[in-house]
Each structure stands twice: as structure tokens, then as C-alpha cells.
A and B are shown apart, each in its own frame.
Chain A
Amino acid sequence: MDETLAEFFRRTILKIPMTEMMTILKTWNFLSENQLQTVNFRQRKESIVQDLVLLCEENHASLNDAAHLDIIYTQFHRHQKIWDVFQMSKAPGDDIDLFDMEQFKSSFKKILQRALKNVTVSFRDAEENSVWIRIAWGTQYKKPNQYKPAYVVYYSQTPYAFTSSSRLKSNLPLLGQSFETHNCTTSLQEGSLGLDINMDSRIIHENKVEKERVQRVTQEIFGDYPQPRLEFAQYKLETKFKSDLNGGILAEREEPLRCLVKFSSPHLLEALKSLAPAGIADAPLSPLLTCIPNKGKNYFKIRDK
């Protein structure tokens, strides 16, 4: 094996904490069970890594395999990276194309390789129709630097792509271009909001019609699929105090009443979605709450008109 490749393997495996070693190696699935059993995992870490690199050489591991291992490591440690998110927009008049993952991967790779001779592009499919793309950048005269790759995670059924901070910011437009041919979203298959099936015929719901209306309105507003995970929403009120009662200390004031309302939850949007079906709030909910995904913000300032 090439010395630089062996060194890359060594450094990549050395990065992996011992507690995750077996899991990551198994996920990588490049070394067989038998081979892994020949390694003594009770040695010092450097010796273990050395043994593993030797096994990789035995299996004629390629740069591609190393890149895959790197992607898996990064997937396990995704929280250690800072991600930017890009939203692709459709030009008016664009048709909805059907998305083919393999076609996307091959054209993505081709575009990058055509533009930059020295670039390593690797893919790994992940959950929810997403693909992790690892890109090691080189220049016209230098081989790709495997130690500072950029990562792009693209959720194919959405217009969103996440990128980890890339040293070479100038390559971002190129990345954008490689997405241009594939900025489509196909409609997800209709899920169904399961209504409670009441098995016992001795229980009768008097307000079935109303229940169904609430479910329908909730589904129209929130959709069928799990909500994006959000932990809080903050509303800053700068409105004048309004009261039904005449008089009262606060009623006469001209200045706005400053007030901050913060909603927090392990999964705020799911909680809001469940309010009306649970009978805790009326449906439809206030647009101040339901506009969060549409407006893409969770800090609001409310002033008197």
C-alpha cells in the first residue's frame, strides 16, 4: 500500500475513541469478523491501530475505503462540526423531476471532477433519504488534502443541504452548481394521522364530527410527517396593555408593556401539534405559533400595529 494512504488509515483509525472502535469498524464492514478477532484489543492503542492498518493492507484497501471510514467517523461525531444549511429554491416554471439517487451521485461527482482535476468525492447513504458526501480538495498541481475534507449532507426529498465548514470557501459556488440539476422535491407519500381506534363499542364519542374537524385542521396546518425538532420559541411583546376591565393600574399607560414569553420543550412543534387533538387548545391554533416553520424563525417581536 502507498505510504501516504497507510498513514491516512493510521491517523483516521487513531482518531476513533476505543469505546467506539468496534461499532465503527463493524459499521464500516471492510474487515471481516475473523480478521477483527485476530487483533488483540487489550494492547496499547498504537499497537492496535498498527495491527488494523496491516489488515487493511492485506485487504488491499483503497482511498475510497479510507474515505468511507472517515465518513462513518464523522457521522458518529457530527455534533463536533459546525454546519451551514443551504436552501435551494425553484425557479418559476421548473417541473418537479423524479429524483434518482444514483444519477445524482454520478453527476455530482462528474461536475466536481471536471472542474477540479484533483478532488476525491465519496458517498454514503444514510437515514431518511439522505446522502453524506465527502469531498477532499486539491488544486491543479497538488493532490487532494485528505485531512481537511468538506462534508455535504443532502436530504434528497427536501431542498436543504448541510455543509461542514470548508477551508476553501471559494469552492462553495461549485458545490451549488452541482446541485442545480437536482433541486427538486417530490411529494412524500401520504402518511395517515391515525385517529384513535376505540375498540370498545360501549364507549361512544358524542363529538365525533368535531374531533374529525380538529384532526383535519391540525393535519392541514402541520402535515402528516414528524415536525422539525425545535426546542424553544420566544415572543417579545411590546404592545399596550389591553384589559376588559375598565380602569386598573396598567390600563391607562401609553407606553407598551414589555413582556417576554418563551415556550420550551424537548420537541416544541410536536407539542404544539398535539395541543388541539388533546383538547388543550382550540383548533386552529394562533398563527403566531403555526407560522414558525413557514417563516423559518423562532424569535418574534410583536408590536401594536
Chain B
Amino acid sequence: MSALRPLDKLPGLNTATILLVGTEDALLQQLADSMLKADCTSELKVHLARSLPLPCSVNRPRIDLIVFVVNLHSKLSLQSVEESLCHLDAAFFLGKVAFLATGAGRDSHCSIHRNTVVKLAHTYRSPLLFCDLEIEDFRAAMAQRLVRLLQICAGHVPGVSALNLLSLMRGSENPSLEDL
């Protein structure tokens, strides 16, 4: 089991592959289903994993985008993501990694503070998205957004690359170093 590398495989024709990493399988499954329902000109593939490293597989296509899903209600999910991040090649963090935090809507159930994930995303220089995946409409909207991000990371959108994404997504929701 080696660390995942972003460019060690050739891309498939018009194919974009996303890897969703998170402990709560049901949430990942629902998000995957929503993504496949979204409008997309590229062929989509969704891989679901509980954590990294992934089991050895020669047949795995090139992974274009990795989204780490953290459930703010579960300390275990954060812990698992933190441990997984060690098994990722540094080159992925040039725009091909994003964090998704779910469960912020139910504040009383949150055992992880919002700032914790903000700091985590900042440490890894990657965008952080918030979405309550349990609510269908929010999930569908997020799925559409992720599909768009995925297409960019796979190089299917002319003129925009994964590296551009980092600066494009540094909006008000991703505070800069001075704010923290």
C-alpha cells in the first residue's frame, strides 16, 4: 500500500474520478448517488473509502479529486481523516483535495468545533466546504458543485486548472492566515 499520487497513471478518455473519504458510509453513498444524478458531460466515477491508505489495486483509475468528509457530530470521523491525510502524496494538495464538513446545522449535536476543521483545511491549504448532507436539497446542490470541481481537476474545463481552483476558492469562507 503506497501513498496515492496524483499523476502516476494516465487519465481515462473523458473520465473524471473522485474519491470520497469518510467514516460514515451512508453519507458517502448518498453523496455519490447525488453526484451521479447531476448534469455532467464527462463520465463520472465515484470511489468511496473509509480511510487511507487504500488497499492495493492495479485497476484503480487516476484519482482527480479527493474529498475528505468530516461529520461534525463525530470525533471519530475527524480522527480518521487526520490519520488518512498522512498517506497522501504532497502533490495532491495542489488543488486536488477538498474538505467537506457536514452536520453544522444541528449545533447541539456537534462535538467538533467549526474552527477545528477550518484550521485543518488551512493547514493543508485546501478549500473547505460546509453542507448538511442529510438534507436532500443541500446535498444535491453540493453534489453539483463537486461535479464541477471534479471536471476542473480532471482537466475537462479549458482554461481552468486545479491550481487555479485554490486561488479561485479562497473567498470569504476560507479565511486567510491573518484571520485565524
Binding site for B on A (CB under 8 A): 196, 198, 200, 202-207, 209-211, 277-282
Contacts and interface: CB of A to CB of B under 8 A. Distances in A.
Contact of A203 (B46, B51, B57, B74): B46
Contact of A207 (B24, B33, B45, B55): B55
A200 B33 contact: yes
B44 A211 contact: no
Contact of B50 (A198, A210, A281): A210
24 contacts: A196-B29, A200-B33, A200-B36, A202-B36, A202-B44, A203-B29, A203-B48, A205-B47, A205-B48, A206-B48, A206-B49, A206-B50, A206-B55, A207-B51, A207-B54, A211-B25, A211-B50, A278-B25, A278-B26, A279-B23, A279-B24, A279-B25, A280-B74, A281-B76
Contacts of A277: 25
B101 interface: no
Nearest to B49: A206
Interface of B: 19, 22-26, 29, 32-33, 36, 44-51, 54-55, 57, 74, 76-77
Interface majority SS on B: helix, strand, loop or mixed?
mixed
Contacts of B19: 206
B1 to A, nearest CB: 11
Contacts of A210: 50
A207 B55 CA distance: 7
Given A277-B25, A281-B76, A207 B36 contact: no
A281 B51 CA distance: 14
Interface majority SS on A: helix, strand, loop or mixed?
loop
Given A209-B55, A280-B76, A281-B76, A203 B25 contact: no
A107 B22 CA distance: 59
A202 B22 CA distance: 18
A282 B77 CA distance: 11
Nearest to A274: B26
B40 to A, nearest CB: 11
A280 B73 CA distance: 10
Contacts of B44: 202
Contacts of A209: 55
Nearest to A201: B45
Contacts of B26: 278-279
A202 B76 contact: no
Determine which residue in A198, A278, A280, A281 has the highest number of CB atoms from chain B within 10 A of its CB, and name it.
A280
Given A210-B50, A279-B25, A202 B55 contact: no
Contacts of B51: 207
A279 B81 CA distance: 13
A203 B55 contact: no
B101 to A, nearest CB: 16
A85 B92 CA distance: 62
A200 B54 CA distance: 21
Contact of B47 (A204, A211, A280): A204
A196 B28 CA distance: 13
Contacts of B50: 206-207, 210-211, 279
B141 to A, nearest CB: 20
A278 B45 CA distance: 23
Nearest to B25: A279
A121 B45 CA distance: 66
A207 B22 CA distance: 11
